[in-house]
Structure 1
Amino acid sequence: MDQEQDAALQRFLSCLPHIHQIHSICQTPSITFGVIHSGHVILKKSIGHRDSGLTLPANEDSMYMIGSCSKMFTTAAVGILVDEGKLSWTDPIQKHLPEFNPEGDPRIGREADIIDCLRHSTGLASPTMLTVGPRGTVASNEEDLIPILNVMPSAHANGEQRFNREWIYNNAVVGLVALIVERITGQRFADFVRERILEPLGLNRTAMTRSDVENDGNVAVPCTKLSNGQFCQLLDISWPCEGHSPLLAGMGMRSSLNDMLTWCIAVLDAERSENDPEYQRSVPNNPLKQMTRVRRGYWARPSDDPEFSKAAAYGMGWFRVELPSSMLGSFSGNSLSQSKEHRLHLQYILGKENAAAAPFPTVGHTGGMRGSIFSVYTFPNTQSAVVTATNGRDLGDASDFTAQLLIQALFDLKPLVDLRSWAEKEAELAATQYREYIERPWEENRRLDDPERDCMIYVGDYRGFNDRFTLSIAMSDLPSTSLSVVFNHRLASECPLVFYQTDVYSFFQPDEDYSKMQAIIAKEYKQMLLKFRVDEGGRADGLWWQWDTEAEPAWLGKLAK
């Protein structure tokens, strides 16, 4: 170990107590983390447990959900095909998927290309609640994705189109690229990634299919902490989702610290070889191509701090900033403290005294899933990386706080920033979020004195979104409720419905533990209301659903029996 690495290791040792405090503040079962410098792993460590019972220690081979870090492998798959001349980055999506033709703006079908999908500039609304249902169920079929995307809103309420004018994060359009990979290669996306990327790099702790984890004894399960202080495992039987390649490509993989450190070394190695003709790749059988193209900035992301407004941009499955920057953790799960209302992160910018130094690019991404967050930061100038993972996220993103502590220690950034106080503030906000932003407004707008009709008039199937998505309303066998709803025939997604107003029922219930277990991906309570239309004959003939906060409510018509 050289002198520089030894000094860095001493700084890591000094920040370990702070990481333990982050672990305690965020109340997550485990944090697993590692550091690469000069192309070599110099730190690997795990704190806590991989199970909800806190009996099985996490370690460097524990497989965590990596969420949106899956996109890194998707763009790498495209890079290989581009290098082989089988694809072009500027190929229109319609060239390979002619059925893709969004109704709201014909230009999207004609012009949107692979880069537009991977940099999130198609302008299409994200069908999040149509793809991931309650309890983490995969709520739609792979073959229904394009028909659903074809009816996604593409404009604001005033009619202003968003294609290549606005940045809208959308896992589903990234998933289109996986379908293109399949049509070009004749292989399932999972098989192509395994054969062309995972196996050559020796990534044998990266999961593409359920069989990769079903009988594996070292999986970090996603957890939530209930009001009794106990951790509870969240259902994760849908992930990985090899049967839905688009979701797998956008958010569905799992991996371990060891594999992701190896991955980062390979990415940095390939990128350096493309930038420096004299550099010889050091990773044997490195299959990665076009890394420079993948990891450049494509869509500028404006800084929220005028003093440290260094360049920030989204690439293709990677986010790029230059340190110091208030945008470093902008993709983390610590969104409450970084909101326009609080902007607390501006008090914790790393390396302010280093601002006059040469540009210091950082390229990474965060992958957030139910009960899990995975963070990857790479530093091309020094062939360095920081990788962190956690299997809990109730009181903030422990993975990102840990990553920033390690970044500060790795590069000896000044002044020394105490990130623990930021973590405490995020945890405080997270502890009140449910009550303040979901339960309270839900209760304030509920009208229990409204007349309630015979529940039987609502029973039936309601279909919409190009006839590709169904909400099934049935008489419930669940206690203390008359009706329930099932999302797109996924029985595991069943939720009880409670009376909210006349002809309005809610699949949200005012119970924080229940809400955590359901893990419905919704920003506002209105997204969890179903508003039935009843005709003059007293029959429900359809319902309105505010599935997206920025879109008009969708109409789902009742199917005839």
Structure 2
Amino acid sequence: MDDSQKRETQQRLQSCLPQIHEIHSICQTPSITFGVVHNGEVIFKHSIGHRDAQQTLPANDETIYMIGSCSKMFTSAAVGILVDEGKLSWTDPIRKYVPEFDPVDDPRIGQEADIIDCLRHSTGLSPPSMLCLGPGGTILTDEEDLIPLLNVMPAVDGEGKERFNREWIYNNYVVGLVALIVQRVSGQRFADFVRGRILDPLGMRRTAVRRSDLGGDGNVAAPCVKKSNGRFHGLSDESWPCEEYTPLLAATGMRSCLNDMLTWCIAVLDAERSENDSSYQSQVPNNPLKQMTRVRRGYWTRPADDPEFSKDAAYGMGWFRADIPSSMLSAFSGNGFSREKEYRLHLQHILGKGSEAAPFQVVGHTGGMRGSIFSVFTFPETQSAIVTMTNGRDFGDASDFTAQLLIQALFDMKPTLDLASWARTEAQLAGSNYQKHIERPWRENRHLGDLERDPLLYVGDYRSFNGRFTLSIGGVADGWSTNLSVKFNHRNASECPLVFYRKDVYSFYQVDEDKWKIQQIGAREYKQMLLKFQVDEGGNSVEGLWWQWDADTKPAWFENVRNRNSTQKGAPFLVKSYSG
């Protein structure tokens, strides 16, 4: 690309700014920071808005954002380095390094599941999300609890069929299992391996795998929610980057800035091209990345939702692949409401659909966290990349809309699409999601006229998952009433008040949208926030409780600890038959 072509491309990117400002306004996010690489060179960077909830500190290309699931890119890269050194093989079974991994629901998983199965999300194991991350982003388990929890996760569908290598189930925690293998093989903490073998060699000084990496300059984007009064509220995030909990760090826990992530994209594209083209001279001195071709290939088909026009997409190992033009470009974005069957607005906004140019490949991912969302798209054929990041997500995924506008401009796609109408619909749907899917069904199924027993009857510890998880019900007398609360796995920061829902059922959700946003419980359905106590026939003792911790699985039985010998472990997963 000569200088005139470069200037023309930069002018097209610059012309996107009014539309991106409009997206910033529609999605009501504190800031959007974005940049573009083309032909292996950074050609455009810009920031809009502020990194803090008070809207006083401008964001810039050094501002550190949460990158969420884009952390997985570094996990697969770590494995690639060890494979290149002959210390690992992609098809090594997990049990070779983690012999205690032995899921009880399907013995084949323990015997056969390999590193690729974990990184491509085909183990069939349900993700223990609400058992590992609680209210307020509280980390609920210790690192050593992960494997025992995974061992009791459901691995069959509703018809009793095993899901291993038959269904694609996105599971952050089996990716974390791979990071534990990196630790055992390298003899280093995962955070130290990534810092020493990837980040430092690439000069990525503002990419955080430890809290000390955040530095002292305060240039960190606060993840935010938009309250009903129109003001932003910064979310507490003391647990991140969670260097002492490797599984979450490796799956969702890293942070980075625009400059570092553009450097990362250049290195990834450079390593991949070096592997594919023996005549290519690497442009990244001592590039530490290996096996990028293997990492970024497709391993699990994600069927196109408009097969007459788009090719099927595919998931790799921490990367998602498609061929543009494609309806699957934003399949992993936070703009899911407008993709649902009754809207399918993405089919009306397919970039380059009218172009006569041959399809070209895009490889990327999106990382969504509490109050943050981050997108990366790379284009191997032109050594290009687009990185977008934002610290708010209540009214749609501004990072995705921004990225699509930049993709359209970078490659001068025709017809030129205005994404604002799509963004407005997504923002409206996202804004009404709480009322439609949480508050309304919660209210409609509550029975305030039911018998309410003495709340102190329920106080105690309830244990499940082979003793690895405890729900502690506490009670405090306040005048004529007793207020109950629940604490998740003994973490004080996770404590939530309980409200009476119906006979022997209490809810740790209370109707208040602002509290819901700030609390960030992580439930998709109201049923996940109900605790159903089972009282004996005499009404004198509580045997245990049922909790539907995952929307797609049956409720789990938690046995009242005082009903067991104190030397015994807690009740195993689903030892009783749930009714009601």
Which TM-score applies when normalising by structure 1?
Answer: 0.98
User: Closer, same or farther in 2 for the Cα pair 1:484/1:267, shift >3 Å?
Assistant: same
Deviation at 1:158, TM superposition (A): 1.2
- The residue type equivalent to 1:264 in the other structure is C
State the distance in 2 between where 1:75 and 1:543 align.
39
Matched with 1:548 is: 550
State the distance in 2 between where 1:463 and 1:214 align.
40
State the distance in 1 between where 2:14 and 2:283 align.
29
Deviation at 1:478, TM superposition (A): 9.6
Matched with 2:270 is: 269
Residues 311-390 of structure 1 mapped to structure 2, 5 A cutoff:
311-354=312-355, 356-390=356-390
Matched with 1:231 is: 232
Matched with 2:573 is: none
Deviation at 1:353, TM superposition (A): 1.8
- The residue type equivalent to 1:137 in the other structure is T
* 1:272-301: CA deviation from partner (whole Å, max 9, x where unpaired): 000000111110121000000000000000
Deviation at 1:388, TM superposition (A): 0.2
- The residue type equivalent to 2:547 in the other structure is W
State the distance in 2 between where 1:200 and 1:223 align.
32
Report how many residues are paired: 560
Matched with 2:7 is: 6
Deviation at 1:141, TM superposition (A): 1.0
State the distance in 1 between where 2:342 and 2:139 align.
33
Matched with 2:450 is: 450
State the distance in 2 between where 1:139 and 1:530 align.
18
Further displaced range: 91-100 or 356-365: 356-365
Give the conservation status (yes or no) of the 8 Å contact 2:94–2:114. yes
State the distance in 2 between where 1:323 and 1:239 align.
35
- The residue type equivalent to 1:386 in the other structure is I
Do residues 293 (structure 1) and 327 (structure 2) align?
no
Give the conservation status (yes or no) of the 8 Å contact 2:301–2:314. yes
- The residue type equivalent to 1:255 in the other structure is S
State the distance in 2 between where 1:154 and 1:215 align.
45
Deviation at 1:339, TM superposition (A): 1.7
Deviation at 1:357, TM superposition (A): 3.1
Residues 18-29 of structure 1 mapped to structure 2, 5 A cutoff:
18-29=19-30
Deviation at 1:96, TM superposition (A): 0.5
State the distance in 1 between where 2:424 and 2:338 align.
10
Poorly superposed stretches of 4+, deviation over 4 Å: 476-481
User: Closer, same or farther in 2 for the Cα pair 1:439/1:449, shift >3 Å?
Assistant: same
User: Closer, same or farther in 2 for the Cα pair 1:115/1:481, shift >3 Å?
Assistant: farther
State the distance in 2 between where 1:421 and 1:468 align.
48
User: Closer, same or farther in 2 for the Cα pair 1:478/1:353, shift >3 Å?
Assistant: farther
* 1:46-74: CA deviation from partner (whole Å, max 9, x where unpaired): 00000000000001011000000000000
CA-atom RMSD in angstroms: 1.3
* 5+ long unaligned stretches in structure 1: none
Matched with 1:134 is: 135
SS of alignment partner, residue 307 of structure 1:
coil
User: Kindly, what percent of the aligned residue pairs are identical?
Assistant: 71
Deviation at 1:224, TM superposition (A): 0.4
State the distance in 2 between where 1:3 and 1:477 align.
75
Give the conservation status (yes or no) of the 8 Å contact 1:481–1:496. no
Deviation at 1:511, TM superposition (A): 0.7
Matched with 2:570 is: none
Which TM-score applies when normalising by structure 2?
Answer: 0.95
Deviation at 1:307, TM superposition (A): 3.3
Matched with 1:511 is: 512
Matched with 1:52 is: 53
Matched with 2:523 is: 522
Matched with 2:560 is: 558
Do residues 240 (structure 1) and 241 (structure 2) align?
yes
State the distance in 2 between where 1:216 and 1:144 align.
35
State the distance in 1 between where 2:128 and 2:423 align.
31
Give the conservation status (yes or no) of the 8 Å contact 1:298–1:313. yes
Give the conservation status (yes or no) of the 8 Å contact 1:257–1:387. yes
Deviation at 1:481, TM superposition (A): 7.1
Deviation at 1:549, TM superposition (A): 1.3
* 1:486-542: CA deviation from partner (whole Å, max 9, x where unpaired): 111111111111100111000111110010011111110000000011113421121
SS of alignment partner, residue 494 of structure 2:
strand
* 1:363-387: CA deviation from partner (whole Å, max 9, x where unpaired): 0000000000010000000000000
- The residue type equivalent to 2:81 in the other structure is I
Give the conservation status (yes or no) of the 8 Å contact 2:204–2:260. yes
Do residues 255 (structure 1) and 256 (structure 2) align?
yes
Matched with 1:499 is: 500
* 1:418-458: CA deviation from partner (whole Å, max 9, x where unpaired): 11111000001011111111100000000000010111111
Give the conservation status (yes or no) of the 8 Å contact 1:481–1:497. no
Matched with 1:206 is: 207
Give the conservation status (yes or no) of the 8 Å contact 1:364–1:376. yes
Give the conservation status (yes or no) of the 8 Å contact 1:476–1:496. no
SS of alignment partner, residue 16 of structure 2:
helix
Further displaced range: 344-353 or 268-277: 344-353
* 1:209-246: CA deviation from partner (whole Å, max 9, x where unpaired): 12223734100010001011110001110010111101
- The residue type equivalent to 2:314 in the other structure is A
Deviation at 1:140, TM superposition (A): 1.1
State the distance in 2 between where 1:501 and 1:312 align.
45
